[in-house]
Amino acid sequence: MHSLLPTLRRTLGDDAVLTDAADTAGYVTDWTGAFAGAALAVVRPADTAGVADTVRLCAQAGVAVVPQGGNTGLVGGAVPDGSGGDVVLSLERMRRVRGLDPVGDTITVEAGVVLRAVQERAEAAGRLFPLSLGSEGSCTVGGTVSTNAGGTAVLRYGMMRELVLGLEVVLPDGRVWDGLRALRKDNTGYDLKQLFIGAEGTLGIVTAAVLRLFPATPRRATALVALASADAATELLPLLRQECGGTLTTWELLGRQAMELVLTHVPGARDPFDSTHEWYGLVELAAGSDDVGERLEAALHAAAAQGLLLDAVIAGNPAQRTSLWTLREGLAEAQKLDGLSVKHDITVPISSLAGFVAEVGPRLRALLPGLRLVTYGHVGDGNLHYNLSAPVGDEAALRAAAGELTGLIYDAVAERGGSISAEHGLGVLKRGAAATYKSEVELDLMRAVKRALDPGALMNPGKVLP
């Protein structure tokens, strides 16, 4: 037995240190099942001091630490490699809401608080915490900060980076940086919290955060529209922005094959249109007191007048609203049920998005006839989940061609000045591709930052940087 284990048990208590395979299994394999590793132990501290103790003891023993929140990531960023030599540090017991300030519009929460709990606590105070994504029932504050999570309300509220006012972080040497400020403005030197947001736990461990709250938006208006082309989706964006003022919250794109997957696999999903269309847009407005229904109708009329819409259905009640959202939110599950899915989470400048779709799709299908393009995403952010499902009945063909298909997509993204990871991060899955497409100068800067903060390279090793 590694001599670190009794020390950890003595310091944190026996129940905080898991080593039995049955206990650690859920922590060493990721949600997708694609990344399965092993750990020396899984440590579950109950507070910041416990996290600091764990990190300090591991550093003294030269043992690397893999921080983990809700383990809902898609790139293998929160699970250990197969060596069995690292400690997984789970933040799941740190679930305190430390405070909510309704005048300052802030909430202070520990890293293990689940995203939905933050949303609910805000709602109970008549406020809104706007970050919203598929895994919100399981993912945690620490994870969403460390991966700079996005989701379906980024268009209006920004990504997690823009929602964080302050952080508490355990540094790689076990010291605690108390940067839990609840300030809108603070220009007293380098904005250190930015280092840890989106760093995937490679520079330190986020233990708590001060997050921004917003006025509640109980009024919502939602529509699914049929579009003549992907072009129409980007052309509609400025019109929607102008017509809806600040109430435009969501503008999502779905391709026909994405829609078909959901209709096939998700119970209760139904196509609200009589005929099929190549592209769909899901639009949602939200406000405190504005008549967003009226606004949405006016916006859709203006869009129709410009020939940008083929058809539209507006949700008339909450059940209809849920039904429209199912078409979007059922996609992750539908792809999983359908079988092999080669996923790409890309951004291009919004003005290049339609051109990207028009050019790249046919080239992919030329490489692999019958390939199903499961295209959907946050068109208002230029972010597509540009996923590939196999020709029906031929997963082997997709498996064989996957590398070439992904290479083609990433090259096309790079040509347009895009990003090969819009919101999922790099983890293990994309660290190599990122290194390929980034400049040497940029990689040098990243390495310099890593060395400066984690000279022993003990924080989430092998993630982000190859």
Sites for its own copies among residues 407-436 (CB under 8 A) = 417-426, 430, 434
Q: Which of 29, 147, 335, 460 binds its own copies (CB under 8 A)?
A: 147
CB of 327 to its own copies, least distance (A): 22
Q: Which of 50, 130, 382, 461 binds its own copies (CB under 8 A)?
A: 382
Instruction: Work out whether 102 is an interface residue with its own copies (CB under 8 A).
Output: yes
Q: CB-based burial of residue 408 (10 Å sphere; 0-12 exposed, 13-18 middle, 19+ buried)? A: middle
Phi/psi for 44 (5° steps) reads: -125, 80
Which CB atom, from 397 or from 435, has the smaller least distance to its own copies? 435
Cα separation, 114 vs 142, whole angstroms: 9
Count of alpha carbons within 13 angstroms of residue 209, beta-carbon side: 29
Q: Are 213 and 106 in contact (CB under 8 A)?
A: yes
What residues from 271 to 300 belong to the interface with its own copies (CB under 8 A)?
287-290
Strand partners, 419: 347
Which CB atom, from 269 or from 443, has the smaller least distance to its own copies? 443
Residue 201: CB atoms within 10 A of its CB come to 26
Which CB atom, from 31 or from 273, has the smaller least distance to its own copies? 31
Which CB atom, from 181 or from 265, has the smaller least distance to its own copies? 181
Which CB atom, from 23 or from 415, has the smaller least distance to its own copies? 415
Instruction: Work out whether 349 is an interface residue with its own copies (CB under 8 A).
Output: yes
Q: Are 290 and 247 in contact (CB under 8 A)?
A: yes
Q: Which of 56, 181, 277, 321 binds its own copies (CB under 8 A)?
A: 181
Residues 6+ apart with CB under 8 A from 247: 217, 285, 286, 287, 290, 292, 295
- Residue 177 three-state SS: strand
CB of 274 to its own copies, least distance (A): 31
Instruction: Work out whether 191 is an interface residue with its own copies (CB under 8 A).
Output: yes
Instruction: Work out whether 194 is an interface residue with its own copies (CB under 8 A).
Output: yes
CB of 330 to its own copies, least distance (A): 22
Residues 6+ apart with CB under 8 A from 268: 323, 326
What residues from 203 to 242 belong to the interface with its own copies (CB under 8 A)?
203, 215, 234-235, 237-238, 241-242
Cα separation, 369 vs 367, whole angstroms: 6
The count of residues interacting with its own copies (CB under 8 A) is: 91
What residues from 4 to 63 belong to the interface with its own copies (CB under 8 A)?
none
